[in-house]
A and B are shown apart, each in its own frame.
Chain A
């Protein structure tokens, strides 16, 4: 459905999933993400895809992983409490290298929080929520159009690197409406996972001589084992350090060697900036308004908008640290990304947070007053 349309963020996400080729959704309703499942329950069967409402979020992500192994591009959508329940299977997907997309529309927390109020409190949960070291990719949209784009991109990255990808949206972006022009199907770059071309007896689904081994679908003649247990290149459980280490190194390297492809930031008015705003999601919108207001007052303020939250944009922040004296990080949490910025800046510039965690969004005026301080 291309052409100009007035869409809600969650609708744009569902359109993005379809455009990326998603053909399976499993999920459990939770505000402010429920529209994504509702829309896909209507749209997926029309293109021969499938939707199922599962009994909870644990089985939802499990079903998504199962469908992906069956060869379908698959996603789920949830919010913080449901995302907490998905964590074990998220780690499974990372360890077993099964492509899948998890859309998390953040709401205030902890616990049930304020169910319909916005928040950005799950940045660290998205990075470290599951147990054990693991690689992860997390994207954060700050407009309806970007929710569409980043959902497509989430599928592409997930297929390309055989890894789960999280789209970490927030209530503001999910429920706001904007007029956007959706690209025609042919205009969208869509990446499909690599399939093996070797005969089955030569196939190693976890081959350590390549960064991203091709993934056969179940039922296609390549019979192999998939497990969350440490495994060898054939997928069989192993306790041998000489087999575990190369596998562990590889699943990190396949991401870390491709940061240029994965980490995306947008820089605005940074050429002459003396103060930088580092922001993402809904807060990036307020930050942009604050930047323009500050420029009217002849204050040299620029914006670095993070579209990829994890892996963290170290190179981009390093550049900022060498350039400006002050960095302001507005977030609807107590400073989760600020911690990362401080780590990279390492004292080279002053890093300040503008934070809100009472269920209200950060206003441009709030950021402007931090700029003027």
Chain B
């Protein structure tokens, strides 16, 4: 029999952490965290071997509530911290959680380089289309023509397509879903957790407080409906996908992982002896 959701989640929450959380009621961050925990539970990772690292933003507060090795870093730099930890402890499962501004704006350079190296990190990007924590300024993922506190006349910039960016940079696994399609989201996270290398899941999430209110969707429900109506599974991309967000596994390929390659460097260096190669 299927267990009720909360029974799965409860053992992963920190009982010594002072709840309630910092998020607005109805924020998509909670759905993302719930999905991630259920995915971790299904993969069967132990708490001790799992690290969760985040940057700064509303989404950056995800790790503190859960009972893993958790690290809340500086804005945009989570991937740098994660790279160091993964190299020091390759046996650990290192999960990185970033907002769209965190991952693609201030941290964009780190994102493409971590993908290019294909270092073994599971990367969850909570794309709420806006800078949530600072009050609704536009981010690199804010849709063209929508409104933000710094785009009062409509946004004139193109958005980053996270999946295509990650793919071009060299990520072996890229998937996307939304907090409306919660079971799909959780399955994609499970896949990402078992993938070797830099595995990216973009979770489109609702910030009704900052994005929604400025764009005619001031409730969580209106934003979830928007996600339902404006996205299609990748299988329907060609028939119904015109102008819509595609969901599912967008990239899945096998590429050599960085820490494994570095083990070869160690072997080569040792074989070269005291004087080294040069």
Contacts and interface: CB of A to CB of B under 8 A. Distances in A.
A and B found bound together: yes
Contacts, number: 153
A50 B80 contact: no
B257 to A, nearest CB: 14
Nearest to A228: B74
Interface residues of B, number: 48
A157 B184 CA distance: 50
A226 interface: yes
A224 B17 contact: no
B83 A218 contact: no
B266 A63 contact: no
B75 to A, nearest CB: 8
Contacts of A60: 80
Interface string B30-70: 00000000000000000111010100000000011001111
Contacts of B53: 66
B88 A54 contact: no
A325 interface: no
Contacts of B63: 225
B74 A89 contact: yes
B83 A54 contact: yes
Contact of B89 (A26, A70, A92): A70
Nearest to A43: B276
User: Chain A contact residues: over half helix, strand or loop, or mixed?
Assistant: mixed
Interface in B69-106: 69-74, 76-89, 91-92
Given A42-B276, A45-B265, A45-B269, A218 B69 contact: yes
B47 A223 contact: yes
Contact of A219 (B48, B79, B268, B269): B48
For chain A, the bracket of interface size reads 35 or more
B187 interface: no
B266 A219 contact: no
B270 interface: yes
Interface stretch (A229-237, A255-263, A300-308, A348-356): A229-237
Contacts of B253: none
B71 A66 contact: yes
A46 B48 contact: no
Contacts of A70: 84-85, 87-89, 92
A62 B64 contact: no
Contacts of B67: 223
Contact of A66 (B82, B91, B277): B82
Interface of A: 24, 26, 42-43, 45-46, 48, 50, 52, 54-56, 58-72, 74, 88-89, 92, 217-221, 223-229, 234, 236-237
